[in-house]
Structure 1
Amino acid sequence: MENLHPNALLMKCIPLVSQDPGTAASYLQRLQPLLRNNTLYSENETLEDAPTNSILLLAVDYYLAMALINAPQDNKSRSSNESRYRKEILERSHAMLHAFLRRMELLGVFEVEIPNSADGSMLLKAYHHLLEMEDYSHSEEPEDHLRRKQHLMTAGEMRNAKIRNYKLKRSAEKAVEDLSKRISEIEDDDDDRLDDYTRRSSVLVLLQNIVQAMDQLAAGYKEIEMLSMAVMFERNREEIERHQGTSHPDKKDMCAVSSSSEKRQLSDVKINKPMEVTRVTQDPLSGKLIFNREHLQSQVFKPSWNQPTMSLEELAEIERTQAIERGEKQKQLEADEKLKARRYEFLVRDGLEDDVDLVDASAKVDQAWDDFKDENPRGSGNKMGERGDRNF
């Protein structure tokens, strides 16, 4: 890919922006000098003056910015603070996106009409609104902060802006597809139509890049604000740890220390590290040694409530067996109660007066009951009813 023409190299890098952003960024950085040295165009030229085969090269900054944003963080290039590194990448990418959008404004790409779209005129106005918001956010004047709050879009306006950008992008994509079909149908000797369709298709691709760049800037500002807060918190934490003597240098920094004074400082930092106490107890039942740290670690992911010891099917089978046993015991008790000796009137009530054995047994019960009534006549127990004062 190193010996390819710049336009061919760009076409190879465009799909790599999402598939292999690291490789795409390394190749796109070689194309940037073409724009920096005004090799493709000068500031006093318009889009009509640019050659057809060089129009897509005007978007090198856009593709490079998107590749840097999508590229994973490399351990070699990553700083000690991941939030700070990500913030630097976003700020660098946003600077490239602004350079791309300013170039598109100078060339008049914003003014190109998208087929079957009525929102193209709002694109330049939305970009200027984005620039105003950025200027207000970077300013430290109270009036600018007030203006920024006044210019902030509501949730409904943001939703409408996203819908508008999506429709613009879809209209541009559809127009590019139609032009690609027309290009495939052109005869070999019709160079004028081929150049016209290719030029219009390239300009529509630039419009797609404009919409995506503005979406990325709007989303990136919020991420940069959160990263700025994260960087500030991490700096405050490092400052507190440095004063408390609890911060530890990295292994690479320790290897780089050469002077004896720096080594003494590192040893002082290690000495200031608080002592860790390990408590050891003995289980009274098993006699095993229990380390408090290991015991606590074993209880970290253990729930505080008792876990089930059987499945629902096993529980249902146990309850079914117990219910059957209770039913059998109840039937046995009822059968024993019927065969129990009792007075004859109870046998008549239960319809068992024809059972000879029960009738014989009831005769003894009735005789015992009659003897008890003879020995204890009715009212014989009320001996103290007539004594004492009835008023008390």
Structure 2
Amino acid sequence: MSSEGPAEPTIRSLFDSADKKRKSLDSFFDSNSDEYQDKLNAAISELEQCKDLISRASLFSMNEGLEEVATGDLRYLVVDHTLAELVLKRKSQNRKQVLDQARGSLKRFLELCEAYGLLSEADKAAAEGASSGSMSVSSLPSDPGARRQAKIVQFKREKELKNKVESLSNSTDDEDARTFHKSYLELLIVQSIQTLEMIKLEADLLSKAPPPQPTPEPEKDDRQMTRGVPEYSERLDTINNNIKGGALLSPDGKPLRPFRLVSQREMEKQRVFGPSHNLPTMSIEEYLEEERRRGGIIEGGGEKSGIRPEVDEDDYEEADKATMKARDWDEYVEANPRGWGNTLNKG
């Protein structure tokens, strides 16, 4: 029984595994889902390892021609392009960093293709304009007519390359295989230039976007401020019956006496804008008892009480006295009209 551990990953195993994950991403409906992003990051990680092994093995050299590269190794020339393609699909709060990383990978891919003589003079000019940081430099002419014509030529070339790649994809002949890889690389060159144009446009839009506003903290609910207080409850029928005035609700939920609901915020407001001292309070019964003690309330009738005793109609003597007293009062009022004695307002 062998005690050897798992085999070390190779350029081929890492490339094939990453390519399989890349193709499986097309089956997802939501590119922002955790499963999609996890598989995407796994593919990126394997491609970065594959790229590291390619560099350590010196698989490609800037000093050799394409004919010197083995047919089986031509497929690994696309690693940087595939990396850029996957990185652009990453969900990130820092979109600018994603764009910069993808731009760097595409530029390295185009530089490698140029070293192997795969870029035409038109491709070089277009790549230089697309990878430039200035929006004034474009891979297409500024004249609208010439720009439209260049777009048509670009579209036709891309379509021809796609058809050629598709027709050679299943060939087992070595010469056809080399033609397939060369045509595929030319197709990716066209697509890389287009992607660089889109990256430049998006980066320009990001630079002009206003900075993100800080998210305001939500106001704390009054109930949240008191939920940590012991014996706190939002149910009125659970309030203790020993509060002043007795219980608010009966066991079956019916109100036993009038009450008013106030929030914690309103109570704090009353304490802030109210008097700085506690005002004395007393009940009506306590007030009447205090007035009675001070002599402010006279009980039992009498002259001081201001209440005239009723005269017994059967007592003629008392009735005559009351009649005479009333008549004397009427004569006094008639002889002394109201305000007669007031000399302050007279000239």
Please, what TM-score do these two structures have when normalized by structure 2? 0.50
Give the greater-gyration-radius structure (CA): 2
Structure with the higher fraction of residues in helix conformation: 1
